[in-house]
Amino acid sequence: MNHRDHRAFALVLASLAGLTAPGATAQGLRLPATPQGQGLTLPAPAATIAPATPATMAASAPQAGRSSSATGWADFIVAVVNSEPVTNNEVRSRLVRAEAQIARQGASMPSREWLAHEVLERLILERVQLQQARESGIRVDDFALAQAEQGVARQNGMTLEQFHARLERDGIGKERFRAELRDQLLEQRLREREVDARVQVSEQDIDQYLHAEPPAGAQAKPMEINLGHVLVLVPEDATPAQVAERRARAQQAAERLRSGADFATVAREFSDAPEGQRAGGMLGLRPVDRYPELFVSSTRGLPVGSLVGPVRSPAGFHLLKVEQRVIAGQPATVLQSHARHILLRTGPRMSETAAAERLADYRRRVLAGQADFAALAREHSQDDGSAKKGGDLGWANPGQYVPEFEQALQALQPGDISAPLVTRFGVHLIELLERRQASLTAREQRDVARQAVREKKLDQAYLSWTQDLRARAYVEYRDPPR
């Protein structure tokens, strides 16, 4: 089994927990040491909530309460983690799901014994993290849970009502789903606090990164590309008829583009990806190793302006346009956003729900012409860096904010005001003022390097943290899963 297969299996196992492995997704840029927005520009967490599906929930949800007659196999305790059991049914459910996912990816199938061991270890680590989160007093407010639930439904291409109906058809109640999602949010918040806050990048680190000699045989100046992306999602358990309908929709979008239609217009009409409503579907200039291998291999060697697709992946059908190619280190043009926000911090005196209700009232008043956004920000925002400026965050490059804030900003058009949004810093109300094309300054290019260094450090810090957390846990192995 090669290194790539092991990496693929790690991502499969992580996705079954509802999370992406550290470094598996592109992280945001970080502003200089004194950002304008209070805390907003800290890097993304080492792992983030990933799209869940009804099938994922059905396969990977704990099954401790189910009898052998309901599952078709005997249930018993396979391990005890600090007095909490892990059952055979839990391992088997995850194992079946992992095998199906590996098969869909076309990777060589490992032995069932090896995969069962990896699934068990993943479950043990989840238990340890949840226990640590609860002991640390970390909580997930109902508003944050509802926001995450809405996000999962959107990522599956459904309304919340459609998603709940689908869960019910698969025998998964809403409360069970929400309990699973709350656990995922707890784990994420624990990692944000225990890992992200401890990783620092010095100016010397950046200098070493920028002046490091490339490995033997590597390009002296690596290529960076900007791809336009249209995604037509295909439900995970889609019928042949649904797949055909999705393929036809992707083909329709491709024909529009090849006949000369504007890419941004087509992306906004057809794309199910978040960036479809932002920058005309442009993914942004980044090193090729920060793109999915499918995207890189599909566009390799093609000139700027070339269109590829539809290309099939487990997520659906992709259309890719080579928008820009530059050598790393050369000035690049990016689409910047100018926004302002109101931040209410949460804690013992104000819950996320209460903060969201207050911000929703501010939004209603602004939209009705009864209040001015900047005046409300100066009076009420608890972001010390921007409140006195009427909440103005200045111009920001793509990926500069934490993921939740960035995603909400990308979905806005100039003049739009978001719904209240929960991040690790509190609850926000965001107004997008304008967008522009701009070249990165030397300082901003150093920030790109800073984030690349930080991502590497986050990977290392996350691994060390989980190893230490696991080593301090009491784990008693019982009968092996079967």
Segment 16-25 shows an average pLDDT of: 34
Domain identity same for 303 and 367? no
CATH number at residue 274: 3.10.50.40
Report the amino acid identity of residue 5.
D
In a domain, 456, yes or no: no
Tell me which of 46 and 209 has the higher pLDDT. 209
End position of a domain, from candidates 273, 305, 327: 327
The pTM (predicted TM-score) of the whole model is 0.56
End position of a domain, from candidates 271, 299, 327: 327
Domain identity same for 164 and 260? no
In a domain, 458, yes or no: no
In a domain, 451, yes or no: no
pLDDT tens-digit series, residues 243-259? 999 999 999 999 999 88
In a domain, 43, yes or no: yes
In a domain, 176, yes or no: yes
CB 93 within 8 A of CB 101: no
- Confidence band, pLDDT 50/70/90 cuts, at residue 362: very high
Segment 301-320 shows an average pLDDT of: 86
Lowest mean pLDDT among 113-122, 183-192, 297-306, 373-382: 297-306
Q: What is the DSSP string of 273-323?
A: SGGGGSGGGB--SEEGGGS-HHHHHHHTTPPTT-EEEEEEETTEEEEEEEE
Domain identity same for 26 and 136? yes
Report the amino acid identity of residue 53.
T
Segment 86-103 shows an average pLDDT of: 84
With b for 16 or more beta-carbon neighbours within 10 A and e for fewer, the 116-146 pattern comes to: bebbbebbbbbbbbbbbbeeeebebbebbbb
Give the chain's domain count.
3
**For residues 79 and 85, what is the distance between their CA atoms, to the nearest angstrom?**
6
Domain identity same for 17 and 158? yes
Domain identity same for 341 and 408? yes
Domain identity same for 272 and 298? yes
Instruction: Give the number of other CB atoms < 10 A from CB of residue 474.
Output: 9
Domain identity same for 341 and 319? no
Q: Judge residue 297's burial from the number of C-beta atoms within 10 Å of its C-beta, 0-12 exposed, 13-18 middle, 19 or more buried.
A: exposed
In a domain, 447, yes or no: no
What is the percent of the chain with per-residue pLDDT over 70, rounded to a whole number? 78
Domain identity same for 365 and 305? no
CATH number at residue 146: 1.10.4030.10
Domain identity same for 338 and 384? yes
**For residues 188 and 191, what is the distance between their CA atoms, to the nearest angstrom?**
5
| Integer CA distances (angstroms), 50 to 18, 125, 150, 336, in order | 6, 18, 13, 26
Range of the domain at 283: 222-327
**For residues 200 and 207, what is the distance between their CA atoms, to the nearest angstrom?**
14
CB 281 within 8 A of CB 275: yes
* pLDDT score at 403: 79
End position of a domain, from candidates 289, 306, 327: 327
CB 130 within 8 A of CB 105: no
Lowest mean pLDDT among 293-307, 345-359, 402-416: 293-307
Segment 335-361 shows an average pLDDT of: 92
**For residues 17 and 119, what is the distance between their CA atoms, to the nearest angstrom?**
10
In a domain, 434, yes or no: yes
In a domain, 445, yes or no: no
* Whether pLDDT at 58 is above 50: no
**For residues 285 and 226, what is the distance between their CA atoms, to the nearest angstrom?**
4
Domain identity same for 45 and 190? yes
Domain identity same for 121 and 90? yes
Domain identity same for 277 and 367? no
